[in-house]
């Protein structure tokens, strides 16, 4: 089964929707077409095809074709597990793109400049903040976590203190209040990790990293966000290792 979130599909304009509909109606044919051939088949420009793929969460037509091909080959895979693993696979492929690499490198630079790092989150993100602080500390980067949004921050606003804010929605009131207070200090450095890019938190951050997973809520409690946090763990571990690796490279050059 091929799944696209309703939120993503609604962003498509008329021309982009015509491309999307053609693909769904001609999956076997579409998988063999280049971006130029697909555009010609639907009588649109290649730019329209590329915009459609990006709105659906892909870097381009090649990545979307890979997704379609793998979806069609899947048989008797448990849906709940498969969807998250497929999204994670696409996410890991996407973060190797040039745009994602630039953001990661910029985030790594802020981490290297920091005297210590504060992880902030509430609820499930609070648990991940604890994990991030422990992981960073164990790899040699001084860090601690705050899961209480009212807890005082040591060295708040200092130019060598970095805050890494975790929030799937990017709209949690307590987190936004905390970040606004941090931003009152002009020298505050903030990296945020959110599911979507157009959030209040992302706009308040120096660098925002996103994973664009399909949003999922609990049937037991509709207010509880169950969106997979696998990419958050991936981001944290990648950032930690990249920061340490680059420090080692610098030390070797100086030696």
pLDDT attached to residue 77: 40
pLDDT attached to residue 184: 81
The number of residues in the chain equals: 255
Distant-in-sequence, close-in-space partners of 81: CB < 8 Å, separation ≥ 6: none
Residues of the chain with CATH 1.10.10.10: 6-75
pLDDT digits (tens, 9 = 90+) for 75-127: 444 444 445 666 777 777 777 777 778 889 999 999 999 999 999 999 889 99
Point out which residues pair with 190 in neighbouring strands.
Answer: 163
Superfamily of segment(s) 99-254 = Glucose-6-phosphate isomerase like protein; domain 1 (3.40.50.10490)
pLDDT attached to residue 24: 84
Residues of the chain with CATH 3.40.50.10490: 99-254
Architecture of domain 6-75: Orthogonal Bundle (1.10)
> Strands (DSSP E) along 88-236, which ranges?
116-120, 143-146, 161-166, 189-194, 207-210
CA distances from 232 to 150, 207, 219, 251 (A): 23, 15, 23, 29
pLDDT attached to residue 155: 60
Sign of CA dihedral 19, 25, 26, 27: positive
**Distance between CA atoms of residues 90 and 58, nearest Å:** 8
Residues of the chain with pLDDT under 50: 74-82, 250, 254-255
């Amino acid at each position: 089964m091929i799944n696209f979130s309703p939120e993503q599909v609604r962003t498509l304009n008329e021309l982009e929707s015509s491309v999307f509909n053609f693909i769904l109606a001609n999956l076997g044919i579409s998988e063999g077409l280049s971006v130029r051939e697909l555009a010609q088949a639907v009588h649109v420009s290649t730019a329209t095809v590329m915009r459609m793929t990006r709105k659906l969460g892909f870097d381009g037509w090649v990545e979307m074709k890979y997704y379609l091909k793998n979806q069609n080959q899947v048989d008797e895979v448990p849906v709940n597990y498969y969807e998250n693993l497929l999204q994670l696979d696409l996410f890991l492929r996407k973060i190797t793109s040039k745009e994602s690499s630039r953001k990661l490198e910029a985030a790594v630079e802020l981490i290297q400049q920091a005297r210590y790092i504060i992880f902030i989150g509430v609820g499930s993100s609070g648990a991940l903040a604890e994990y991030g602080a422990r992981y960073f500390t164990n790899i040699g980067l001084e860090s601690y976590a705050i899961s209480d949004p009212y807890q005082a921050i040591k060295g708040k606003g200092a130019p060598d203190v970095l805050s890494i804010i975790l929030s799937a929605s990017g709209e949690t009131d307590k987190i936004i209040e905390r970040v606004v207070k941090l931003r009152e200090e002009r020298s505050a450095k903030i990296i945020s990790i959110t599911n979507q890019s157009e959030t209040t938190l992302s706009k308040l951050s120096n660098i925002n990293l996103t994973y664009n997973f399909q949003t999922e809520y609990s049937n037991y409690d509709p207010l509880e966000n169950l969106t997979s946090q696998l990419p958050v763990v991936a981001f944290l571990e990648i950032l930690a290792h990249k920061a340490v690796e680059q420090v080692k490279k610098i030390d070797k050059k100086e030696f």
